[in-house]
Amino acid sequence: MGSKAATFVILAIYVVIMVGIGLYMSRRTKSTEDFMLGGRSVGSWLTAFSYGTTYFSAVVFIGYAGQFGWMYGTSSTWVGIGNAIIGSLIPFFLIGKRTRLMSNHLGAKTMPEFFEHRFDSKGLKTAAALIVFIFLIPYTASVYNGLSRLFGMVFDLGENGGTIIIIAMAVLSAIYVTLGGYKATALNDFFQGIIMLIGIGTVVALTVQKKDGLSAALDALNAISDSKTETGTLGSLFGPDPINLLGVVILTSLGTWGLPQMVQKFYAIKDEQAIKKGAIISTFFAIVVAGGSYFMGGFVRLYCTLDPSDNSGKAFIETVNGKPVYDTMVPSLIHQALPNILIGLVVVLVLSASLSTLSSLVLTSSSTLTNDLIKPRIKNFDDKHQVMFMRILIAVFLVISVLIACHKNASISTLMSYSWGALSGAFLGPFLYGLFMKKASKAAVAASMITGVGISVIHMLLFSLNIEAFSGIKQAVIDLNCPLQLLSPINAGAFSMIVSLIIVPIISAVTKSPDKKVVDNAFSSLAAK
Confidence bin at 340 (pLDDT 50/70/90): confident
Query: What does the alpha-carbon distance between residue 495 and residue 480 come to, in Å, rounded to a whole number?
Result: 18
Higher-scoring residue by pLDDT: 293, 527? 293
Q: Mean pLDDT, to the nearest integer, of 206-216?
A: 93
pLDDT class of 273 with cuts at 50, 70, 90: confident
* Boundaries of every domain in the chain: 3-20+42-408
**DSSP-H helix ranges across 156-299:** 161-209, 214-222, 242-253, 260-268, 272-286, 292-297
* Closest C-alpha to 507, from 450, 422, 436, 466: 450
Which pTM was predicted?
A: 0.83
d(CA 40, CA 33): 8
Model pLDDT, residue 484: 46
Q: Is pLDDT above 70 for 93? A: yes
> What's the mean per-residue pLDDT of the chain?
83
pLDDT tens track for 158-205: 555 557 777 777 777 777 667 656 666 777 778 778 888 888 999 999
d(CA 281, CA 89): 9
211-220, 333-342, 461-470: which has the highest mean pLDDT? Answer: 211-220
Q: Which residues pair with 304 in a beta bridge?
A: 315
* For residue 38, pLDDT beyond 60: no
DSSP state of 408: T
Q: Which position has the higher pLDDT, 362 or 4?
A: 362
3-class DSSP state for residue 473? helix
For 233-245, what is each residue's pLDDT tens digit?
999 999 999 988 9
- The span from the CA of 150 to the CA of 152, in Å, is 5
SS (H, E, C) 118-184: HHCCHHHHHHHHHHHHHHHHHHHHHHHHHHHHHHHHHHCCCCCHHHHHHHHHHHHHHHHHHHHHHHH
Q: How far apart are CA 265 and CA 357, in angstroms?
A: 13
Q: How confident is the model at residue 68 (pLDDT cuts 50, 70, 90)?
A: very high
Q: What is the predicted pLDDT for the residue at 30?
A: 61
C-beta of residue 137 within 8 angstroms of C-beta of residue 377: no
Give the least confident one: 82-91, 451-460, 478-487.
Answer: 478-487
Give whole-number Cα distances, 77 to 72, 290, 296, 504, in Å: 9, 8, 8, 32
459 contacts 140 by C-beta, under 8 angstroms:
no
Task: State mean pLDDT over 274-302.
Answer: 94
- Which of 172-176, 225-229, 388-392 has the lowest average pLDDT? 172-176
Is a pLDDT exceeding 60 seen at residue 415? yes
3-class SS of residue 315: strand
pLDDT reported for residue 184: 66
- The SS3 assignment for 451 reads helix
- Tell whether the torsion through CA atoms of 515, 517, 518 and 524 is positive or negative: positive
- Side chain identity, residue 274: A
Domain topology for 3-20+42-408: Sodium/glucose cotransporter (1.20.1730)
Torsion 151-420-277-114 (CA) sign:
negative
Query: Would you state the pLDDT for residue 35?
Result: 61
- Average the pLDDT over 50-61 and give the result: 82
Give tens-digit pLDDT for 395-413.
787 777 777 666 655 566 6
Three-state SS at 42? strand
